[in-house]
Amino acid sequence: MMRLRYSTAVLMACLLIACATRQPGTPVTPGFNLFSQSQDIELGSEAAAQVRRQSDVVQDSRLQAYISNIGTRLASQPGTGNFPYQFTLLNDNSINAFALPGGPVFVNTGLLKATQNEAQLAGVLAHEIAHVALRHGTSQVSKANVVQIPAVLASAAIGQQTLLGQLAQVGINVGVGSLLLSYSREAEREADALGARLMAQAGYNPVEMARFFEILEAQGGRRAPEFLSSHPSPGNRLRLIQQEIRFIPQRQYTADTGQFKQMQQLAAQLPPPNPQRRLQSRAAPRVSPTRPGTPSADFQHVQTSRYELVYPSNWKAFADAESAMLAVAPPEGLLPNQQGLTTLAYGAIVNYYFPRRKGVDLEGATNELVARLSAANPAIRIATRQPGKITVDGCSAIVTHLSSSSPYGGIERDVLVTVERPEGVFYFLFAAPEDGFDSLQPVYEKMLTSIRFRG
């Protein structure tokens, strides 16, 4: 079995259920995520290389060392996760800073010039470090692409394209305003809370972070700083951070290095920023996809933390022992659809789905999941729904037959089996071209009847 290092043991119910706003002083921990920490690092490394190619990186070693020293001091505090943080100053007059998954943090010279003291600069860095530690970027992507991400990660795992390239096919790109770098107000509150704690632990007064954000928000209007477009205000930041500080052990704030004004002067003396270099995208030539060969009559076993099943021995299982997600397919079964998005065209995806509202019955949850599938692939249509219910390993289940356009040409037939489980709605989605589906029916049925739930 080929392993994808998915980060969650199960898809947590809080994914699609509105959760209560966090109270000041309570621990801040990463939320729902389909990516592993190592995939965060891989994605961030690829994206950071792209940012450096497209940006005017400051060449002054004194300025880079100054930013790096402050960032490293903050990142060495408890609660920042095991990520390889890197801090880079960009020669860009816009007031902005951003962090990529896995540790790369970028700060514009415009932001350095706009801060009033080193603690405010440290506050922005602490806030960005918190986004990395809490894995907000990949969490946001996961929530918006809950059905599609398993196929994307599986495709990246077999080397069809880099992880960053696969996400680009789903419309997730690096840049200000992209989903990867745009956060919810709840994520902003969490980053403020953890950032304030990191600042205090490093010796900076956390109130300065709130004061700087208030300065930015006061500018407002059409010329509001770029930072605010991807970091929406969660409300009265000063009040929220002051409430958070009440739960932080009191200490003397003495971290200022005394270099702040000198570094601002050096930044002011830099040459004008070069126009941002644009990389020309090269469309990959269209190649007619090759259909997978006949599935093997021999089957092998795969087991996750919550279930097990069998699959043809000449297919591959993309999963992790700690993950609830599983993609089972031949390598040729993962293809771009008509929208250019990576999808499973031949094989099965197995996962859990959590409805938006508590108390939804199996039929309601199935309808919601079908709507999610349709949003990911507008060509999907409901063909039939099997009357009554079947059972899968003794649990009630519904079978829904779907159709869509196949990347191989013609019609694709999809069979969705949704199963009522205590931990959530388990689903098994089997896809294949319509003209070859009947010959695959025994494979689909054997996989389905082999499912055994654990616990």
CA 354/CA 421 separation, integer angstroms: 11
- SS3 labels along the chain: CEECCCCCCCCCHHHCCCCCCCCCCCCCCCCCCCCCHHHHHHHHHHHHHHHHHHCCECCCHHHHHHHHHHHHHHHCCCCCCCCCCEEEEECCCCCCEEECCCCEEEEEHHHHHHCCCHHHHHHHHHHHHHHHHCCHHHHHHHHHCCCCHHHHHHHHHCCCCCHHHHHHHCCCCCCCCCHHHCCCHHHHHHHHHHHHHHHHHHCCCCHHHHHHHHHHHHHCCCCCCCHHHHCCCCCCHHHHHHHHHCCCCCCCCCCCCCCHHHHHHHHHCCCCCCCCCCCCCCCCCCCCCCCCCCCCCCEEEEECCCEEEEEECCCEEEECCCCCCEEEECHHHEEECCCCCEEECCEEEEEEECCCCCCCCHHHHHHHHHHHHHHHCCCCEEEEECCCCEEECCEEEEEEEEEEECCCCCEEEEEEEEEEECCEEEEEEEEEEHHHHHHHHHHHHHHHHCCEECC
In the set 42, 118, 128, 368, the catalytic residue is 128
128 has catalytic annotation: yes
Give me the active site residues, please: 128
